[in-house]
Structure 1
Amino acid sequence: MPLKNMFGVNGYEWNFLEDPAAPNNRDVIFEKNMALIRNFSAVRHYMNWTKLENTPGNYTYNPTYNGSWNYDLIYTRCKQDSILVLADLKNLPVWMMETYPSGEQDDENVPAPYSSDRSKPSSYLVQAKMAFQFAARYGYNKNVNQALVKADQRPRWKNDRINEVKIGMGLISYIECNNELDRWWKSDKATQTAEEYAANLSAFYDGHKGTMGANAGVKTADPKMLVVMGGLATADAGYVQRMIDWCKVHRGYKPDGKVNLCFDVINYHLYANDGNILKHTKATRGTAPELSQAGEIADSFIKVANGIPVWVTETGYDINPGSYQHAPSIGNKTALVTQADWTLRSALFYIRHGIQRLFFYQLFDAFPGKAEQYATSGLAEGTKRRPAADYIMQADKLMGNYLYKGTINADPLIDKFQLGNKRMYVLTVPDETGRTAKYLLDLGKAKHAVVHTLKTGADAMDKKVVATVGGKLKITVTETPVFVEAAD
């Protein structure tokens, strides 16, 4: 897979449309933010269900009834700029949340009306219908029965723009069903077992094998749209195995003998730190990805997946030292530079372990300056890139299309990438103490090496051409990755 697949980011509709100088004009892309977003190959769009279906059965997209956002514009622009969108349909609409007793109302509750049997796919019919509508509009199937596709055409006020029915716009290829459904820190009302979520996902996927009507499920609208399971917070591959086991019983097998699964992509979240997510042991700080439990967790998911794509849709580091997920300053490196090092090293780390896509949390700080976990994980600030985004931009520009071909040394790490006849080696000391190492890199018959070094605040890496000695280059490797290109 190409390195650029590791350069996704999490974001929101206001990141695209909200110009501080004109906050109520939500029909124009804010170009200064778009310039930042274009540094990433993919965006995971946190998309609250209540914006799309503010009242039962009434669907809005452009503008959304809640917030007046223009999703058509965002997705069209992303396609124009070759940015993959993972649309994450999450949370409950207010009207469904209000079916719960007043003391139990939370928009992160299980997405079914209160007192539903959460083990049955039919309990998730309303969400499955929303998924159908979204896929019918933004997917690639232009032959959806128009009588089934809805848009709320009632104006909210005089001269309000009216939503229009649109079919097969060809803008979205991936949709995610909810977010962190295994949220152990909340009560049972908000947490699904693997079996409950599999039932939920079966409805969302294809209306539980087409048994829930002609207007339920993603695949019912667009068989080619791919369904990504909601990112798991605990990062337990056993949860996925139990989902697969549920599918064996309740969905059976395809003609080719494979399990008739209700997802196309496996998905989990992992923030590398000195805690233990599997035991829910709280961390005290972030750690370099290579020194955390991230590797064994990634390998466990790849094993369970057995060929199914695995994505990590949330990872990242805070810069506020009060957060237990903070990147510390190391030697003369500030927290921002450590965040940059570990962000790029996370991309290299996950491609090394076979993960097919990676999304960083997130474009901007959730709560600037706040000493809370995940509050200061932004890769940009204002209209400028932070060093982490500098590094991503520079690596993508240099070798985003290069394919990972293996790791030829463990310490320092030497990753080999290739594009046609071009070879690129990425060298990194996998530590967090400021350690350096000497390495003799064998470039075969190359007479020269082009050494590319990352630079904060720049659009491209610095580079210098160095003569090899018999095809070999002696180089000092640091905890900041360095890129070496074989040249004639």
Structure 2
Amino acid sequence: GSQTIQIYVKKNGWNFNWFEIGSAATTTTEVQKTQAVITFNALTDKTVGDAAYALEASSTNTTTPVTFASSNPTVVSVSNATGKWLATVVAAGTANITASQVSNNSFLVAANVIRTQVVNEAAAAPPVTSPEPVLTPEPTRKSGILTFADYNKNWMYLAAPKPESQNFDKIMNGVLNEKVNVTWDWTLYTKSFWMTFPQGMEMTLEKLRMYDYYGTMPEIKVWFIKRDATKVGGIDWNRVPGPVYKDLRSMVWDEYKPAQPLDIYAMIFEFTGSGLPPEIEITGSWKPYQPAAYKHKEINIKSALKTNGYIWNIQNVSGRPVDEEKMELFKAFKGIRDYVDWVKIEGTKGQYTFDKASEGGWRYDLVYERLKNEGIDVHACFKTQPAWALAEFGYSPDNNTEFCVAPWTKLPVPVKPSNATAEQTALYNSEVVKYNADIIKIRENAASYSLFCQAAFQYVARYGSNTALNPNLVKVAGNQTKKIGLGYVKSIECNNEMDASWHGRKRYMTPREYAFYLSAFYDGHMNTMGPGIGVKNADPNMLVVAGGIASNRPEYFQGVIEAWKEIRGYKMNAKGELVVNMACDIWNYHAYSNNGGGQFSNASWGLPPELSNSPTTVKNFLQVIAEEGNDLPVWITETGYGVNGGSQQALATPTRTKVQSQGDWTIRTILFNIRHGIAETYFYQAYDESAYVYNVASGIVDNGTYGAMGLIERTLQPDGSSVLKRRPAADYMRQMQLFQDFVYQQTISEDPLVDVYQYEGKKMYALAVPDMVGRTKVYTLDLGSATQAYVYRFVDGAEELARQTVPVVGGKLTLTVSETPMFVSVSPIVTNYLTSAVKPKSSMVETTQSITAITLASYPNPITKEATIEFVLPEADQVTLELHDLTGKKVKHLFSGQAEAGTVKSYNLNAEDLTNGVYVVRLITSNKVVTEKIIVAK
């Protein structure tokens, strides 16, 4: 009859594979089970800062695993995310570690064995006795109205899209009759503006006043976050409600005075409009606090000779070998930011494919090994979701696939009735609040990102360097070979431009939401999500890079860091210092220098970095990260210049063409970023966008902003073939590899700019005039006792710099420096980096391949704007290339005519006039029809 079976399981403790129910008439013999006994030895005391250690226990039941649990994860946490039980010391204190084991067919459940783990404080460093320490006087505490004399603008930020940070300081400038707009973006219903007060400031609030000159401010709620020395990190994250500013009176101060002075870490202003009160007055007491300045890291030239690209920039389509012509051109770069689409490696849920990938037939093993052999680093930007994930998450095909990384709310979208009554408006506003709250609830949950992070784990398990990973955690599709720790990829980035709000809320992630996302990506949210999740659990050596933000300001990451303080807490670093438990190893942003101030702006043309706002934005970004971001390295993974008439275009000068200016400004960006402390730089991008290439071939003027940013030029021929060549920018990057190991030391002149580099005792000087009008300047280098020097200049179309030997008189060398960088050394510099290609070591790399079948491919896929459709025939034939919808209706005709055997034919598919959905590319030959499915998702 009907039965209820209750099964009690310990999480991660066992696998439930099946159970059998026999007929009542069946006679069974009960098996007498043996009592299992666990042996779990006493634990030795640990000290804060000790490395993670293995938990080991044995049992008389040798077939069922022993599992472990900690009574106090804030002291010692335990996890088997790597396939082996490890305990991690978190803080001083005690925790009970319990070993347990469930029953099986032969053994009864074992009695739990509990051992106490004691964790001691780290021993203090021995006192310094000689020389006597210099004592810094305790700063005198100040009181009164806080001003920017004691408060830094970098300590305030907007946790919402497109912050107007140039207006932030207006709230405390004493001007009452001005409007202070901090954003013009309406993606978020509720925005949060944070004013933080560093711990060393010891801020105590006594009174808060807000003033509205115009009487038009919407409601603003104020929250306080208090300091608490009893908490780890010194912050109590329980928000204390403050005043609600909703008095629409003009020219009136609203005053709030707490019953007792508040020791505060932060004030949060929540609002639904676009601005803050014209003036905010903070009265209290504080210690003057000056944070330590950012310290320049050791950075070599190789770190900036990198580009953004795609696997088809190197490999031929449809599983064919590396394209040797493309590979030769790509040697201009020392690294690639490879856009790795999730859909490529997991086109079907749970079926992981790499060589060949299920989407596009790309051969990642082959390409990555070749890049490693050529000395080109691979940094993976992991992004773009597959169709099955979109459907499972509840997104319709019209959603941007790039950021749909977690389930979406199932609540209906609120719709405001036309001519709404007051009651209807109130109901609508209530629905909006519920709708947005549900989105936040989903996205502020690390488990929402499990599927994406499982795929990243599998990618890192294969291409990282950890050969000791438990093979049982590695999953591949049936047509794939399982491989572990190939060592081809050094770093991985968690998605791209999460702060981009131009596709709306479904794409934009708040800083706090991204904090949960990146925490899951990094280590499975501190190993709470089970095995097989978290990049660090696949390869502890893999560098995890925060997704590059579109803004060139650090506000977004400040919000991420605040969230991590609360949800991840703190840890001891190698120096014994308490630091935030970050979920990344590298910070990362995008920096386009132009006359509008950055990527969000309405710019008209690009600017050399020295003449833009980049000196200020880079300095501020690095300073904030030095203070709040554990002083981790900062990368710029998108920058560069175009050669069309777009807003990021390089400009011709009286002495240089547009493409030469692109080259000059590219090299000056390299020198600028290294000079200021950017650890790695990636230029956008290797090739022009396909749509731009096809428009040019069709005689159409295309001034799209990022359409012609390519460092390598592709010219489409009438027969569908392409001619490829490096632009001067790529030539110059190739030639710069002569100095790739040289490390920046100092800047000894600002105009002209003169940077000093050094490697193995040899000095090199980089010189350039920081202008864009064809200006030159005479400069004299002091070269000490040298009697001759070597001057290096760029040559268009060449592999190597032109070197000139010049005499040095009295140790002085006088040069005429231009806006095109030049280089000087006393000793001749030679390298083997610019020799012929490194010979492939892999047996996988094919140098020739006979075409035995028709190949048809589309990339990228899914499509947002345009795609390239390519095909190759095994023998010459008359063909037709068309696009059909799922009903079989032809929606586009791409090509009809004769196609040669073995030649790649490329055609552009413009998707701007297509609705979102699934389409079929049909290649019709004389005796066969080949199809390829594509997805349009704008």
TM-score range, shorter chain: over 0.9
Q: Contact 1:42/1:83 (CA < 8 Å) preserved in 2?
A: yes
* 2:535 equivalent to 1:218: yes
Q: Contact 1:97/1:106 (CA < 8 Å) preserved in 2?
A: no
- Which stretch shifts more, 114-123 or 65-74? 114-123
Distance in 1, Cα, partners of 2:487 & 2:732: 32
Question: Which letter maps to 1:270?
Answer: A
* 2:464 equivalent to 1:172: no
Q: How does 1:40-51 map to 2 (within 5 A)?
A: 40-51=333-344
Write the deviation string for residues 284-339 of structure 1: whole angstroms up to 9, x where unpaired. Answer: 00111111111222112211222201100111111002x11111111142110000
1:383: Cα distance to partner?
3.1
Q: Contact 2:383/2:403 (CA < 8 Å) preserved in 1?
A: no
Q: Contact 1:11/1:44 (CA < 8 Å) preserved in 2?
A: yes
* 2:645 equivalent to 1:347: no
1:455: Cα distance to partner?
1.1
The one of 150, 159, 177 aligned to 2:475: 150
Q: Contact 1:415/1:426 (CA < 8 Å) preserved in 2?
A: yes
Which residue of 2 is the match for residue 159 of structure 1?
A: none
Give the match's secondary structure for 1:34.
helix
Which residue of 2 is the match for residue 416 of structure 1?
A: 756
Distance in 2, Cα, partners of 1:438 & 1:386: 29
- Which stretch shifts more, 441-450 or 472-481? 441-450
Distance in 1, Cα, partners of 2:395 & 2:540: 38
Q: Contact 1:110/1:192 (CA < 8 Å) preserved in 2?
A: no
Which residue of 2 is the match for residue 357 of structure 1?
A: 680
* 2:390 equivalent to 1:92: no
Alpha carbons of structure 1 residues 235 and 100: separation in structure 2 relative to 1, 3 Å? farther
- Which stretch shifts more, 349-358 or 249-258? 249-258
* 2:706 equivalent to 1:385: no
Write the deviation string for residues 97-138 of structure 1: whole angstroms up to 9, x where unpaired. Answer: 234443752212341122261111111111111111111111
Which residue of 1 is the match for residue 642 of structure 2?
A: 318
Higher relative contact order (CA 8 A, sep 6+): 1
Alignment RMSD (CA, Å): 1.5
Write the deviation string for residues 159-198 of structure 1: whole angstroms up to 9, x where unpaired. Answer: xxx2122111121120111011111222010001111111
Which residue of 1 is the match for residue 582 of structure 2?
A: 261
Which residue of 2 is the match for residue 188 of structure 1?
A: 505
Distance in 2, Cα, partners of 1:103 & 1:45: 25
Which residue of 2 is the match for residue 480 of structure 1?
A: 820
Q: Which has the higher helix share?
A: 1
Question: Which letter maps to 2:603?
Answer: A
Which residue of 1 is the match for residue 658 of structure 2?
A: 335
1:238: Cα distance to partner?
1.6
Which residue of 1 is the match for residue 324 of structure 2?
A: 31
1:487: Cα distance to partner?
4.3
Q: Contact 2:638/2:683 (CA < 8 Å) preserved in 1?
A: yes
Q: Normalised by the size of structure 2, how large is the TM-score?
A: 0.49
Alpha carbons of structure 1 residues 434 and 122: separation in structure 2 relative to 1, 3 Å? same
Q: Contact 2:444/2:516 (CA < 8 Å) preserved in 1?
A: yes
Which residue of 1 is the match for residue 591 of structure 2?
A: 270
Which residue of 2 is the match for residue 198 of structure 1?
A: 515
* 2:602 equivalent to 1:282: yes
Distance in 1, Cα, partners of 2:347 & 2:331: 31
The one of 449, 461, 465 aligned to 1:136: 461
Distance in 2, Cα, partners of 1:149 & 1:207: 16
Give the match's secondary structure for 2:649.
coil
1:152: Cα distance to partner?
1.3
The one of 600, 612, 635 aligned to 1:292: 612
Which residue of 1 is the match for residue 402 of structure 2?
A: 108
Question: Which letter maps to 1:287?
Answer: L
Which residue of 1 is the match for residue 224 of structure 2?
A: none
Distance in 1, Cα, partners of 2:724 & 2:526: 46
Alpha carbons of structure 1 residues 68 and 103: separation in structure 2 relative to 1, 3 Å? closer
Which residue of 1 is the match for residue 746 of structure 2?
A: 406
Question: Which letter maps to 1:457?
Answer: G
Which residue of 1 is the match for residue 354 of structure 2?
A: 61
Q: Contact 1:97/1:109 (CA < 8 Å) preserved in 2?
A: no
The one of 632, 637, 645 aligned to 1:308: 632
Which residue of 2 is the match for residue 11 of structure 1?
A: 309
Write the deviation string for residues 36-70 of structure 1: whole angstroms up to 9, x where unpaired. Answer: 22221111101111111112222111111110100
Q: Normalised by the size of structure 1, how large is the TM-score?
A: 0.94
Distance in 2, Cα, partners of 1:383 & 1:419: 34
Give the match's secondary structure for 1:188.
coil
Which residue of 2 is the match for residue 2 of structure 1?
A: 300
Question: Which letter maps to 2:306?
Answer: G
Q: Contact 1:275/1:283 (CA < 8 Å) preserved in 2?
A: yes
Give the match's secondary structure for 2:598.
coil
Q: Contact 2:499/2:556 (CA < 8 Å) preserved in 1?
A: no
Distance in 2, Cα, partners of 1:273 & 1:120: 38
* 2:772 equivalent to 1:432: yes
User: Any gaps of 5 or more consecutive residues in structure 1?
Assistant: 154-161
1:149: Cα distance to partner?
1.1
Alpha carbons of structure 1 residues 63 and 362: separation in structure 2 relative to 1, 3 Å? same
Give the match's secondary structure for 1:336.
helix
Question: Which letter maps to 1:325?
Answer: Q
